[in-house]
C-alpha cells in the first residue's frame, strides 16, 4: 500500500528484510502506523555487564510524533517516545550513554500486530497475517518541561483518545519529576507485512481427495476492547461518551483491518 | 495465584523485578502459562557484529513443553521451542554458538498479554493490566527427527487446537529439511503481572469535585478471533467444528481473563 515515493528509512544491513522481500516496507507511513496503533512495544538493549550475554527487554508504551513539528503526519520524520514502569535501569543507561558513536542508549524497539491465523493444507504452509515493525535508535531522557508535558499528553491520548483533558491535569511538580520519558532518534527501521490467504504447494493443490478434508482459510484476529468497568471509588457516574466512542471505534477498526487482511490479494 | 511452594526459576539479577516487587513472579506455572497462551513472542539476541550496538529482534512463534517428559504440566521444567520465518540468521548464529559459556545462542524472549486499560484520576496513575514474561536461555537447532516432528505438531496445535491431525501430515522430506525449530534451555525467567483497579494518590481522592468529573475504571482487552473465512481454493466445505470450538473457546477465555483482571483485588 505504501507509495514508493514516500519518505523512508535508509535500508541498512540490520534493517533489510531478506526473506519474503516483497513483505518488507521501509517507508515512514507503514512503520509509524504500526507503532502508533500498538498499545505495547518491546524495547531491547544491551546490558552494560560484559558478563551478561542476554539483551534486556522491557514492555513499554511507545508512540511516534515530532515535538518540533507537532502537526506532522505519519509519513513525515518522527521521533519515538517511550514510557514505562520499569524505567530506572533504562533511564540510567541512557544518561550514561550507550556504546554507540552517537549520544544515548542504543535501543531496538519491536511492535507486532497479529491480524489472523492463516490455515493451509499442510502445517508447513501455515502462517500468520501480521504487521511487524522493528526500529533502531538512540534514546535520551526528555528533560525540557514543555516537551515532557506535551509527550505525557500524547502518550495518554495514545492509550485512550481524548483522555488527557478528561483527567486531573496539569501534572503537579512531583508527577513531573517522577514521570520519565525517553525520546528515541530513529536511525533505521523496517516493517514486515503479511496479508491474504494461504499459499500451498502445487503438489498438495493437485490432491483433490485430501483437499476435500482439509479446511483452508484465515481466522482474523485483533485486540478487542470490552465493556468498561467503573472502579469502586468512581464518583463520575456512567461510562462517558468519549470512552464508549473509543471502545466502539477501536473494535470496528480492529475487525475491519483483520478482515481486510484476510481477504487481501496479498 | 502462584503457590510459593511451586517450582521456580532462580532469581538472578537480570531477572529480578525491582519495581512493584509484589507483581514479580518466578514460578514455572505463571511464566509458562503466559508464553503458551501468546500467539507471538519477541526474540532478542546480540548480533555478532561488534560495530552494531543494536540487539536483533524477531517476532516468532514460541511454546513451552518437554520432549523428555511429554506429559509435563505447566508447573514442571519445560524447554522453549521457537519457530519463525526470518530464521536463517538466528539459526546460523545458534549453530556457531553464542558468546556465553554454555552452548548455543543466548536469547531473551518476551511475551506480553494486555489485559486492560487502567484509567485513573490523573494521567500519572494510569496503567495497564498485563501479564508479561521475560525468559533467558541458550538456543540450539532441533536436529533429532522424532523431536522435530513432535515440536512441529505441538507448534501447530498451539496456534489452533487440533489442527495437526486435520491437515496433510506427516511432513514430507523437503518440509522436514526446510522447517527450522530452536530449542531454548531456559536459565532464568520472571513474569510481571498487574491486575485490578486504578490506584490514585490520597490527595486526589480527597478532591470530590474533581472526582465527580473524572471517570475511573478499567477497559478489559483481549485477543479476539473473528469469523473464519474460507480461502478461494477451499474444497472442504463449511468451517469445521474444531475451528469453531477453538474460536469460541479463545474468545470466551480471553474475555473472562480480562474481566477477571479488571475486577481483581489487585
* Nearest-CA distance A227 → chain B (Å): 6
* Nearest-CA distance A221 → chain B (Å): 5
Chain B CB contacts of A225 under 8 Å are 117, 219-221
Query: For residues A81 and A60, is the Cβ–Cβ distance under 8 A?
Result: no
Q: Hey, are the CB atoms on A88 and B19 less than 8 Å from each other?
A: yes
Ramachandran angles phi, psi of B125, nearest 5° = -90, 0
Which class does domain B13-263 fall in? mainly beta
Query: For residues A223 and B251, is the Cβ–Cβ distance under 8 A?
Result: no
Query: For residues A91 and A46, is the Cβ–Cβ distance under 8 A?
Result: no
Q: Which of A108, A124, A168 sits opposite B171 (nearest CB)?
A: A124
d(CA B92, CA A165) in angstroms, rounded, equals: 51
Residue-wise pLDDT tens digits, A79-112: 999 996 545 666 666 665 544 445 788 999 999 9
Residue-wise pLDDT tens digits, A143-174: 999 999 999 999 999 999 999 999 999 999 99
| Range of weakest confidence among A11-15, A37-41, A118-122 | A11-15
Q: Which pLDDT score, from 0 to 100, does residue B51 have?
A: 83
Compute the average pLDDT of residues B13-39.
Answer: 93
Query: For residues A201 and B153, is the Cβ–Cβ distance under 8 A?
Result: no
- Listed in sequence order, the DSSP H helices in chain B are 28-36, 88-96, 145-159, 173-178, 202-205, 208-211, 241-263
Q: Which pLDDT score, from 0 to 100, does residue B155 have?
A: 95
User: Can you read off the three cell numbers belonging to residue A10?
Assistant: 535508509
Chain A CB contacts of B175 under 8 Å are 122-124
Residue-wise pLDDT tens digits, B166-185: 999 999 999 998 888 999 99
d(CA B212, CA A236) in angstroms, rounded, equals: 4
* Nearest-CA distance A237 → chain B (Å): 7
All structural domains of chain A with their residue ranges: 13-263
Scan for cell 520465518, then name that residue.
B85
Chain A CB contacts of B116 under 8 Å are 226
Q: Which pLDDT score, from 0 to 100, does residue B266 have?
A: 46
* Closest-CA residue to A106 (of A115, A97, A114, A118): A97
User: Can you read off the three cell numbers belonging to residue B157?
Assistant: 496445535
| Interface predicted TM-score (ipTM) | 0.93
Chain A CB contacts of B222 under 8 Å are 223-224, 226
State the average pLDDT for chain A.
91
Residue-wise pLDDT tens digits, A127-140: 999 999 999 999 99
Count, residues in chain B: 266
Chain B CB contacts of A221 under 8 Å are 39, 223-226
Q: Hey, are the CB atoms on A152 and B235 less than 8 Å from each other?
A: no
Scan for cell 518541561, then name that residue.
A145
Confidence band, pLDDT 50/70/90 cuts, at residue A195: very high
Tally C-beta pairs within 8 A across A and B.
Answer: 323
B204 contact partners, CB below 8 Å, separation of at least 6: A168, B121, B122, B125, B210, B211
| Residue B98 scores a pLDDT above 70 | no
Confidence band, pLDDT 50/70/90 cuts, at residue A22: confident
Compute the average pLDDT of residues A113-119.
Answer: 98
User: Can you read off the three cell numbers belonging to residue A4?
Assistant: 514508493
Q: Which pLDDT score, from 0 to 100, does residue B89 have?
A: 62
Q: Which pLDDT score, from 0 to 100, does residue B20 have?
A: 84
Q: Which pLDDT score, from 0 to 100, does residue A124 have?
A: 93
* Closest-CA residue to A56 (of B192, B90, B190, B14): B14
Amino acid at each position: 500500500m505504501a507509495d514508493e515515493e514516500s519518505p523512508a528509512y535508509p535500508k541498512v544491513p540490520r534493517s533489510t528484510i531478506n526473506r519474503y522481500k516483497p513483505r518488507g516496507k521501509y517507508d515512514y507511513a507503514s512503520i509509524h502506523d504500526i507503532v502508533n496503533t500498538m498499545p505495547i512495544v518491546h524495547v531491547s538493549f544491551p546490558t552494560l555487564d560484559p558478563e551478561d550475554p542476554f539483551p534486556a527487554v522491557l514492555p513499554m508504551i511507545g508512540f511516534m510524533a515530532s515535538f518540533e513539528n507537532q502537526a506532522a503526519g505519519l509519513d513525515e520524520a518522527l521521533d519515538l517516545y517511550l514510557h514505562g514502569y520499569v524505567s530506572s535501569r533504562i533511564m540510567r543507561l541512557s544518561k550514561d550513554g550507550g556504546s554507540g558513536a552517537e549520544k544515548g542508549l542504543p535501543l531496538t524497539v519491536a511492535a507486532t500486530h497479529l491480524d489472523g491465523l492463516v490455515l493451509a493444507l499442510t502445517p508447513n504452509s501455515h502462517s500468520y497475517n501480521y504487521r511487524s515493525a522493528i526500529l533502531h535508535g538512540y534514546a535520551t531522557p526528555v528533560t525540557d518541561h514543555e516537551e515532557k508535558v506535551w509527550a505525557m499528553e500524547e502518550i495518554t491520548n495514545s492509550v485512550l483518545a481524548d483522555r488527557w483533558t478528561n483527567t486531573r491535569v496539569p501534572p503537579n511538580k512531583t508527577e513531573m519529576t517522577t514521570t520519565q520519558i525517553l525520546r528515541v532518534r530513529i536511525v533505521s527501521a523496517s516493517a514486515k507485512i503479511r496479508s491474504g490467504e494461504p499459499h500451498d504447494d502445487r503438489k498438495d493443490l493437485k490432491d483433490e481427495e485430501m483437499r476435500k478434508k482439509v479446511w483452508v482459510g484465515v481466522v482474523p484476529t485483533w485486540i478487542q476492547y470490552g465493556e468498561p468497568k467503573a472502579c469502586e471509588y468512581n464518583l463520575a457516574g456512567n461510562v462517558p461518551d468519549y470512552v464508549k466512542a473509543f471502545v466502539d471505534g477501536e473494535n470496528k477498526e480492529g475487525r475491519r483491518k483483520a478482515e481486510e487482511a484476510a481477504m487481501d490479494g496479498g
